Amino acid sequence: MSSIDSVLVASKETPTEALTDTVKAYLNSITDDLLASLPDADRLTPSERRGIIGRYAAVLEGNFIYWMTGAYLAAGSEEARSIITDNLLEEVRDSHPAMLRRFVMAANALPTEEDVLAVAPNLLEVRLFIGRLSAAPIMAMMAFFESFIQRFMPYLEDLARRQGSTEDEYTQVHGVCDIGHSEGLFQGLAAELALTLDSREPAEYLYEGVHLLRSLLETTFDGRSRVAA
């Protein structure tokens, strides 16, 4: 009996619900590990703090909406499209990139050339993955991204405060207020999984983008590229 079958027997969930729960648990464990690997903010120098915020901005400001648009273009289900549309509407109407820019400037942490170059190789890998427009793997990546961002906000806000900033709209909007977005993307993922139910284990086809994004986030935290030269 496969791991999915045993979950089904135990809970009487539908196959898609059981699979989504399995995926969610895996993505949460990656987020747990990433958050646990963050350097202690007390031990960071001002330059290291600035670097983390600057690289985060270099990754997020110009790419979040782009990648969410890729998820929209790839999605085959009406449910996922409708969830992504709501997400994009909020991003564009409230200009989350402008909100992020205000946050970064208030912390004196605009990305430098060095920041941009540090994340470039891993960023390119994620962009190329998005370009392949595989619906369920992109939804898995974006569900992971959104839930990671939401749990990362207290740390990011703490770094900015230590930089002398009092600007917290970006971190508040994406932290406590953003639990619904993460849940919505998991529903969208479930809809895509139901559409193309795959007999393979999730690890065989679903996590490429998740793993590429994890490497990019690790690079964002320490400035060291994870792509072999």
Nearer Cβ to Fe ion (9/89): 89
Q: Which residue has the tokens 């909007």?
A: 173
Dihedral over alpha carbons 168, 87, 136, 34 (to 10 degrees): 10
Closest distance of CB 48 from Fe ion, Å: 25
Q: How far is the CB of 141 from Fe ion (least distance, A)?
A: 16
In terms of CB distance, is 81 or 96 closer to Fe ion?
96
End-to-end CA distance of the chain: 42
**Least CB distance to Fe ion at residue 215 (A):** 22
Q: How far is the CB of 96 from Fe ion (least distance, A)?
A: 3
Residue 181 makes contact with Fe ion by CB under 5 A: no
Asked if 60 and 145 count as a contact pair (C-beta separation under 8 A), the reply is: no
Measured CA to CA, the distance from residue 63 to residue 67 in angstroms comes to 6
Residue 199: Cβ within 10 Å count: 8
How far is the CA of 40 from the CAs of 2, 82, 157, in angstroms?
40, 39, 14
- Give the DSSP letter string of 93-142: HTTHHHHHHHHHHHTT-PPPHHHHHHHHHHHHHHHHHHHT--HHHHHHHH
Contact window for Fe ion (CB under 5 A) among 88-96, 106-114, 137-145, 209-217: 88-96
Specify the residue, 24 or 96, whose C-beta has the smaller distance to Fe ion.
96
Least CB distance to Fe ion at residue 151 (A): 14
Closer to Fe ion by CB, 171 or 225: give it: 171
Which residue has its beta carbon closest to Fe ion? 96
DSSP state of 43: G
Region 90-129 residues binding Fe ion, contact defined as CB under 5 A: 96
What's the sign of the alpha-carbon dihedral 137, 59, 171, 169?
negative
Query: For residues 18 and 99, which CB has a smaller minimum distance to Fe ion in the complex?
Result: 99
Take residue 90 and report the two structure tokens written for it. Answer: 């909020």
Q: How many of the chain's residues bind Fe ion (CB under 5 A)?
A: 1
- Give the residue with the Cβ less far from Fe ion, 148 or 207: 148
Q: How far is the CB of 171 from Fe ion (least distance, A)?
A: 11
Host H or E run for residue 213:
helix 208-222
Where does this chain bind Fe ion (CB under 5 A)? 96
